[in-house]
């Protein structure tokens, strides 16, 4: 039986949570990836099979609010944003939580401000070895209340195993992301380590392994994302690939395949068992599920898609990338971004800025809107987005009529 987490009621919803619960009960093995269609007549919302709080996020949210409850008489600090969702982080701050670092790594609170009586909580992304040491010097154990995602910790353990067996660790991730910074910090304790951002960089690294590019190219491309003392001629002979858990699992597999083939070309297929470590079991199941559910959502089709989540959320950004390749897509933080049927504010990934689009809502009816969100977005926020859009349509079917196929002891109302 799956573990049940105690999530604050204000993060749950009478619509999305109800549909999720029904589908979980009727498809416990999660084999049916078909989206859910909520047909209100003039508008149909196409909900992805998997989205919203994953195991790691639910674990973090539960621990965070329990920490607040158990330590109401103490100052509570988080190393950085617990998860990449502005609504969740704002709620924690309003309850007195302070962040020591920004998500970009800027030091917001000096170490000397902390005392041994304070509570410091590790966010879901984990903490670097350097930060752990800094806290230990001040008599603080950040792992008393540890919200690090278990799948992140699994990557760390596998990286340590790779290092102890003489492999170099390649981290597929964004070098500036909190999780990758933490993973890199732990990995270099045991192994030469280099961070690879994407397939383009993987191909460059592969050509360096083959000897088609000079070792000097390595330092031009990866000099700022590799461990100190990294020697490309020595340290690219045996590799294992792990990832930032919020990266697309399919892309991590491609990165691994590119490097596996480069090693085969250089040292021979017969030596692959020696030169390349299979680390596919470290990929986060939730990221994988959300990715496959997004593909199914896209295949179903819609007039447009709304993707909800924090603008600095890596996994949400990847969902946006998948959707916008197939249909008009708007990346929102919440219902407040939907100004009117004629105006919407949304984050544009390739420009990394919020823009306003006019006449975003097509006029034809019925209208199909794909709706999904990132792994750190509460169901309640998706509810608010759905209800905001629904308010623009005349004479829709009632909520209870639409949700009738999804029985609940708590009827949903608008």
Q: Which residues contact 70 (CB under 8 A, 6 or more apart)?
A: none
Q: Please, are residues 369 and 327 in contact by the beta-carbon 8 Å criterion?
A: no
289 a catalytic residue: no
Q: How far apart are CA 312 and CA 271, in angstroms?
A: 41
Q: Which two tokens stand for residue 370?
A: 């794909």
As to burial, measured by CB atoms within 10 angstroms (0-12 exposed, 13-18 middle, 19+ buried), residue 261 is middle
Name the packing angle between helices 55-70 and 86-94 (round to 10°): 10
Q: Which two tokens stand for residue 326?
A: 């197939």
As to burial, measured by CB atoms within 10 angstroms (0-12 exposed, 13-18 middle, 19+ buried), residue 60 is buried
Q: How far apart are CA 146 and CA 124, in angstroms?
A: 8
Give bridge partners of residue 120 from the DSSP assignment. 77
Sign of CA dihedral 105, 106, 112, 118: negative
The residue annotated as part of the active site, out of 179, 201, 289, 384, is 179
Q: How far apart are CA 6 and CA 59, in angstroms?
A: 9
Query: DSSP secondary structure string, 378-409?
Result: -HHHHHHHHHHHHTTSSSPPPHHHHTTTS--S
Q: How far apart are CA 348 and CA 330, in angstroms?
A: 8
How far the first Cα of the chain sits from its last, in Å, is: 33
Query: DSSP secondary structure string, 84-109?
Result: S-HHHHHHHHHTT-EESB-TT--B-S
Query: DSSP secondary structure string, 70-84?
Result: HTTTS-EEESS-SSS
Catalytic residues: 179
């Amino acid at each position: 039986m799956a573990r049940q987490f105690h999530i604050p009621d204000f993060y749950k919803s009478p619509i999305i949570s109800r549909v999720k619960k029904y589908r979980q009960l009727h498809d416990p093995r999660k084999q049916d990836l078909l989206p859910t269609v909520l047909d209100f007549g003039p508008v149909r919302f196409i909900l992805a099979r998997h989205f919203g709080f994953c195991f790691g996020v639910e674990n973090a949210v539960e621990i965070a609010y329990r920490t607040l409850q158990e330590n109401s008489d103490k100052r509570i600090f988080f190393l950085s944003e617990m998860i990449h969702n502005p609504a969740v982080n704002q709620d924690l701050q309003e309850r007195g939580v302070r962040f020591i670092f920004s998500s970009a790594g800027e030091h917001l609170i000096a170490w000397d401000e902390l005392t041994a009586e304070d509570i410091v909580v590790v966010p879901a992304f984990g903490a670097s070895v350097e930060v752990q040491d800094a806290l230990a010097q001040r008599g603080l154990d950040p792992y008393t209340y540890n919200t690090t995602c278990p799948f992140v910790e699994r990557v760390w353990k596998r990286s340590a195993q790779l290092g102890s067996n003489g492999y170099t660790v390649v981290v597929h991730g964004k070098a500036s992301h909190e999780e990758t910074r933490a993973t890199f910090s732990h990995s270099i304790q045991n192994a030469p380590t280099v961070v690879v951002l994407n397939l383009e960089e993987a191909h460059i690294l592969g050509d360096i392994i083959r000897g088609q590019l000079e070792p000097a190219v390595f330092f031009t491309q990866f000099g700022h994302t590799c461990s100190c003392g990294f020697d490309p001629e020595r340290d690219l002979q045996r590799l294992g690939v792990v990832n930032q858990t919020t990266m697309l699992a399919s892309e991590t597999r491609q990165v691994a395949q590119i490097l596996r083939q480069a090693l085969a070309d250089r040292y021979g297929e017969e030596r692959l068992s020696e030169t390349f470590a299979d680390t596919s079991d470290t990929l986060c199941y939730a990221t994988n599920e959300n990715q496959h559910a997004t593909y199914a959502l896209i295949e179903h089709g819609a007039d447009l898609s709304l993707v909800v989540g924090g603008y600095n959320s890596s996994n949400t950004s990847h969902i946006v990338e998948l959707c916008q390749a197939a249909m008009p897509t708007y990346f929102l933080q919440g219902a407040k971004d939907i100004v009117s049927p004629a105006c919407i504010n949304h984050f544009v990934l390739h420009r990394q800025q919020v823009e306003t689009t006019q006449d975003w809502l097509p006029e034809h009816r019925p209208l199909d809107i794909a709706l999904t969100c990132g792994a750190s977005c509460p169901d309640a926020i998706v509810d608010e987005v759905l209800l905001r859009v629904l308010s623009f349509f005349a004479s829709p079917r009632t909520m209870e009529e639409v949700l009738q196929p999804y029985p609940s002891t708590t009827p949903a109302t608008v």
